[in-house]
Structure 1
Amino acid sequence: MNVIGIMLDSFRQDHVSFYNGGHRTFEDITACQTPNLDAFAQECIVFENAYPEALPTIPVRTQLFTGQRTLPYRPWQPLTTEDISIADILRAEGYICGLISDCYHYRAPGMNFHRGFHAYHWIRGQEYDPWMSHPTERNVDDYVNEHYTKEWRGNVAQFLSNTDNFKREDD
């Protein structure tokens, strides 16, 4: 038996045509077409009424990885040595566990979300992952406004630097 969990951050249910039959959600916006996810869903168990208790990236993943309540008592923080994750449990039961992610916060120093997996592959360059060190070729001012702090301008500059050489959707 294979177990594959897919978690898409900031990807709403109405953006997957499998859930809405390919019909547009908003009158003036073309419906999203997701043929590969739709075909995959035909062979899977699909959650149609599941809601996390926490929405920030790491608290929701902590909840899903460990089955433990997070908010309001456990904010954005690493997995602890006391946490038992689904990968730990599956590994102990003889499953080979792999993690593929572009979520920088999984692999950020000390976060420990890769723990328990036999192998993991990080897709680099998302968010403010310190992947590329060259200055961006694009003008940061085209991507921010006056409300961005110096720190967040730097984060945007890092993302732009990471993606300067991206030419296709699969880069």
Structure 2
Amino acid sequence: MAQIILNEKGQKMVVIDEIIFSSKRKIDWDGVEEYLKRYVGQMYVIEETDDIVYIGSDFPDEYANSKYTERAFGAVGKAKANATQVIPELIQNAINICWKENLEEKHRKDAKYGWYRCDIRFSLPKCDDKKNVIGINIFRGRMIIRCDIDGKKYLYDIIDIKKET
């Protein structure tokens, strides 16, 4: 179970205690996709809005193989891969939810009612070359939730991950 803490600005942050996808140069995205399959069929509630977010069968593939993921190298790729450990907590603690109309033809059916975007924050341990924890790195990102033709909201991806200073 992940720990939720407040940062110095009073914002909720999900603390990830362990690095399970450790390479920055070559992330095992097939392993990430396989790891994410454990969430399929689950649902979680965004505490800020009481919206229910489902995890559909398309989520693991989209998360691990999206255009954003293809460009996620270094610390950002490692952060995205390791955020998989705390998907429920990230959903529950998402903030600043806003809706956006779907403008892409390819999503006309699966995101007929548009998209929700919300902010997330999480931290990863920073380790030395002997795997001793020497600090933490803090990240923020945007969670993308699609509004399906069935009227439900489905987690789609996490993008715009940035390391905070």
TM-score (norm 1): 0.25
Tell me which of the two structures has the higher relative contact order, counting C-alpha pairs closer than 8 angstroms and 6 or more residues apart: 2
- Structure 1 or 2, whichever has the larger Rg, is 1
